[in-house]
Amino acid sequence: MQAKKLNVKDKYRLLTRDLDWEFSYEDRKEAFPYEEFEGIKITDWDKWEDPFRLTMDAYWKYQAEKEKKLYAIYDAFAQNNGHLNVSDARYVNALKVFLTAVSPAEFASSNGFAWAGRHYGGAGARVAAQMQSIDELRHYQTQIHAMSHYNKYFDGFEEFPHMHDRVWYMSVVKSFFDDCRSSGPFEYIVAVSFAFEYVLTNLLFVPFMSGAAYNGDMATVTFGFSAQSDEARHMTLGLEIIKFLLEQHEDNVPIVQEWIDKWLWRGYRILAVVAMMMDYMLPQKFMSWKEAWELYFEDAGGALFKDLERYGIKMPDFTETIKNEKDHISHQAWRVFYSFGHAAAVHTGTPTAEELDWLSEKYPDTFDQYYRPRLEAAAELEAKGERFYTAGLPQLCQTCQIPMFFTNVDEGKPTEIVYRESTYNDERFHFCSNECKHIFDREPEKYVHAWLPVHQIFQGNCGGGGLDEVMEYYRMGLGEMNLDYKGSPDEKRWKKWKGVA
């Protein structure tokens, strides 16, 4: 029988799309109840374009190849005490941030995509979401395994899931994923696939992975490259979902624009921690936050939004603010971590003289004016044995949950903290920016429920009123994970291993 052979596109359609059918015996809305409540209109799921036509057999094959290679490295790393090859033990604190703040979010993402992968009406989108769900599980577990070795030799990794649900800076990331997971299926995927995985991913991934490469961390570099090929599929899903929604119905455009605005902002705010990591937590630096932002957003993002113009989508208004903030946020964020280092599961400290000079060079307009003096003053106190920790607790933004350190850069007043507020049901809520306030004002009933770590401490829900009790609630202990790098158990061990005084 010599029947005509199908092309790749049609074959894939038969292996995915065509598995679906029109319901006769049950109301399809009973099986797929969440498609309409967001106001998104899908007229024809058939218009969905599958970017990567990956069938399960190919998935298993190629992913297994990647796993074999990856775990061979993990084994070699462990067998050869690979942790001894990092530039300095200070570097490992960047990994602690990753495992405690980011990794659990991978699992949250896996959960979100499982839900979306069950509930979209279109089989093509479902399959893509399901593959991402299992990919994110991969990332969670390969990260846990990569860090497993570090956990055996450094403090700060051992309570990552417990802390992710409780600790102040980790709630920034947790609340992002709680936010999109509690939204409907289309907002979810715009938030994660488009805003995070497409627009912003290079600003999370490249810094951590390049940071790892520059600091001798073979395990993390290998993980990073191995995961990146999954990310390529995730990115294309992000681009596809945006175009699909915008092409399906013109009524979708304003809804999608609002989501783009909201989620790029929330995603950008999370990156404050990455900015800080790049500029302050890498003994061997490869790029400043400012440079990364210019390369990965200002350059690359421009091309993307040009492409989306034809749908009526525009670049969010706050891109000016982000541009203005790029000279400031890493320094401001580090200041907060340094000051609250007694309640953080990473070691902080003041930069070395060389590092200060590097920062001056990378931030010629701001560092020497606003930030060097404060760091030098802190170093002086340290030298006198008076390394300071702020006794109070920071005010958190109700929306992004970051301590409110952001300043009025838009009006050229970088030493003036931005305070915004809204009143809802006779209660006052505080925000770090117009954007965070706007997000709240759109859906106040949703955001009032946020479990703000600082509020919760004050309400007595975190073990008690003293630092000791809170640290016990966090399972952070005292004098191991926290405080300055200088004098830490990590430092002592590192010196012993390296045979230095």
Partner 1 sequence: MARVQIAFQDNDESRYIVSAIEEDNPDSTIHYEPALIRIENEGSLQINKATVEAHMGREWDVQSIHVNLVTLTGNIDEDDDYFKLAWGGQ
Partner 2 sequence: MTLEIKTSNIKPIRNTYGHIARRFGDKPASRYQEATYDNAALVNFHYKPLWDPDHDLNDPRRTAIHMEDWYALKDPRQFYYGTYVQNRAQMQEKAEGNFSFFEKRDLAARLSEDVLSKCVRFLLPLRHVEQTANLNNMHCSASTNYCTALAQATKFEAMDRLGNAQYFSRVGLALDGNSGSTLNEAKEFWMTDSAWQGVRALCEKTLTVKDWYETFLAQNLVFDSLLNDLYYRQMDAWLSANGGQDLLILLDFMSSRLTDSQRWVDSVVKLTAAESDGNKELVQSWISAWRISAQQALEPLASAMLGEEALADAFSALETRLGKIGLGG
The binder of partner 1 chosen from 231, 279, 327, 435 (CB under 8 A): 231
Q: Are 268 and 200 in contact (CB under 8 A)?
A: yes
Q: Does 2 bind partner 2 (CB under 8 A)?
A: yes
Alpha helices in 89-217, H assignment, sequence order? 92-97, 103-119, 123-151, 160-164, 170-182, 185-189, 201-214
Task: For residue 305, state whether it binds partner 1 (rule: CB under 8 A).
Answer: no
Residue 78 or residue 379: which is nearer to partner 2 going by CB? Answer: 78
Q: Find which of partner 1, partner 2, none residue 30 binds, CB within 5 to 8 Å per kind.
A: partner 2
Instruction: By CB under 8 A, name the one of 100, 215, 220, 236 that touches partner 1.
Output: 236
Q: Decide if residue 425 touches partner 2 (CB under 8 A).
A: no
Residue 146 makes contact with partner 1 by CB under 8 A = no
Residue 4 is a binding residue for partner 2 (CB under 8 A): yes
Residue 305 binding: pick among partner 2, partner 1, none (C-beta 5-8 Å cut-off by kind)? none
Q: Considering the rule CB under 8 A, would residue 284 count as an interface residue with partner 1?
A: no
d(CA 336, CA 390): 9
Q: Provide the H-helix boundaries in 281-371.
A: 289-293, 300-308, 319-325, 329-339, 353-362
Residue closer to partner 2 by CB (options 34, 370) is 34
Binder to partner 2 among 41, 87, 121, 153 (CB under 8 A)?
153
**Where does 215-352 have alpha helices with state H?**
218-248, 252-280, 289-293, 300-308, 319-325, 329-339
Give the span between the Cα atoms of 498 and 131, in whole angstroms.
44
Instruction: Quote the CA–CA distance of 122 and 485 in Å, as a whole number.
Output: 52
The region that residue 339 occupies, defined by phi over 0 for left and psi between -120 and 50 for alpha, beta otherwise, is alpha
Q: Are 91 and 222 in contact (CB under 8 A)?
A: no
Print the binding letters for residues 121-150 with partner 2: x by CB under 8 A, - otherwise. Answer: --x--xx--xx-xx--xx-xxx-xx--x--
Is residue 155 a contact point for partner 2 (CB under 8 A)? yes
* Pairwise CA distance, residues 498 & 155, whole Å: 18
Restricted to residues 457-496, the positions that interact with partner 1 (CB under 8 A) are none
Residue 415 found at the interface with partner 2 (CB under 8 A) = no
Q: Using CB under 8 A, which of 53, 249, 455, 475 touches partner 2? A: 475
Q: Which does 24 bind (CB under 5 to 8 A by kind): partner 1, partner 2, none?
A: partner 2
Name which of residues 179 to 218 contact partner 1 (CB under 8 A). Answer: 202, 210, 213-214
Q: How far apart are CA 140 and CA 108, in angstroms?
A: 9
Other beta carbons within 10 Å of 382: 15
Identify the H or E element spanning 429: strand 427-431
Distance, in Å, from the CA atom of 351 to the CA atom of 346, rounded to the nearest integer, reads 15
437 binds, among partner 2, partner 1, none (CB under 5 to 8 A by kind): none
The answer to whether 122 and 244 are in contact (CB under 8 A) is: no
Residue 115's binding partner among partner 1, partner 2, none (Cβ under 5 to 8 angstroms by kind) is partner 2
Q: Which of 36, 64, 364, 413 binds partner 2 (CB under 8 A)?
A: 64
- In this structure, which amino acid lies at residue 248? Q
Closer residue to partner 2, CB minimum distance, 23 or 388: 23
Please report whether residue 130 would count as binding partner 1 according to CB under 8 A: no
Determine how many CB atoms are found less than 10 A away from the CB of residue 303: 8
List the structure tokens of 380.
């002086």
Q: Do 474 and 163 meet the contact criterion of CB atoms below 8 Å apart? A: yes
Structure-token pair, residue 232: 């390529």
Binding flag, residue 8, partner 1 (CB under 8 A):
yes
- In angstroms, rounded to a whole number, what is the distance separating the alpha carbons of residues 422 and 453? 20
496 lies in the site for partner 2, by CB under 8 A:
yes
Nearest to partner 1 of 225, 419 (CB atom): 225
Radius of gyration of the chain (CA): 24
What φ, ψ does residue 420 adopt, rounded to 5°?
-125, 155
Q: Of the candidates 229, 224, 223, which has an alpha carbon nearest to the alpha carbon of residue 72?
A: 223
Here's the x/- map for partner 1, 244-283, by CB under 8 A: it reads as: ----------------------------------------
**CB 255 → partner 1: shortest distance, Å?**
23
Interatomic CA distance for residues 242 and 376, integer angstroms: 47
229 binds partner 1 (CB under 8 A): yes
Give, as ranges, the residues between 42 and 101 that touch partner 1 (CB under 8 A): 51-54, 58, 62, 65-66
- Cβ 43 to partner 1 shortest distance, Å: 21
- Work out which of 72, 84, 232, 417 binds partner 2, going by CB under 8 A: 84
Q: How many residues bind partner 2 (CB under 8 A)?
A: 100
Say which entry of partner 2, partner 1, none residue 337 contacts (CB below 5 to 8 A, set by partner kind): none
- Residues in touch with partner 1 (CB under 8 A): 7-9, 51-54, 58, 62, 65-66, 202, 210, 213-214, 221, 225, 228-229, 231-233, 235-236, 239, 300, 303, 306-307, 310
